[in-house]
Each structure stands twice: as C-alpha cells, then as structure tokens.
C-alpha cells in the first residue's frame, strides 16, 4: 500500500535514537493496554500475577 511506503520513508528519515524511542513508546503503550484489559477481565489477580501474564503475552 502507498501509505506503508510513506510510513517507511518517514522512519528511514528519522534519526536512529528517535526510531528506538518510538519503539519503546509503542512497547509501553501495548504493555499498558494488555495490563488494563487483563485487569478488567480478571480483577481478582494480584499485581504480580498481572505482570506475569503481561510478560507472557510478549514472549509468544
């Protein structure tokens, strides 16, 4: 798709540290969303249990 090519070009023009910063931001966003969804669906879990489940989701 054309939009994919445009996005790739934007990423290529970014400085490496900005691409890395973006990757970390996206990771944090995904982790926070998975944590919130898991907590909503399983409110009985402790924080340690929630963190374990979230970590397991990233290992798959």
What's the mean pLDDT when you consider all of the chain?
Answer: 94
Is 41 contained in some domain?
yes
Could you list the residue range(s) of the whole structural domain that residue 39 is in? 15-59
How many domains does the chain contain in total? 1
Summarised one tens digit per residue, pLDDT across range 43-52 is 999 999 999 9
Sole residue written with tokens 């979230």? 54
Is 32 contained in some domain?
yes
Is 3 contained in some domain?
no
Is 52 contained in some domain?
yes
Q: Is-contact 45 39, C-beta < 8 A?
A: yes
Is 1 contained in some domain?
no
**C-alpha of 23 from chain center:** 8
Is 5 contained in some domain?
no
pLDDT range class, residue 1, cuts 50, 70, 90 = confident
pTM of the model: 0.76
Q: Is-contact 20 28, C-beta < 8 A?
A: no
Is 43 contained in some domain?
yes
Is 21 contained in some domain?
yes
Structure tokens, 24:
């970390």
pLDDT range class, residue 25, cuts 50, 70, 90 = very high
pLDDT at 50: 96
């Amino acid at each position: 798709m054309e939009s994919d090519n445009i996005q790739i070009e934007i990423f290529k023009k970014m400085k490496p540290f900005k691409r890395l910063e973006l990757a970390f931001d996206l990771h944090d966003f995904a982790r926070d969303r998975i944590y919130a969804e898991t907590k909503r669906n399983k409110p009985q879990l402790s924080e340690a249990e929630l963190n374990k489940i979230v970590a397991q989701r990233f290992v798959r």
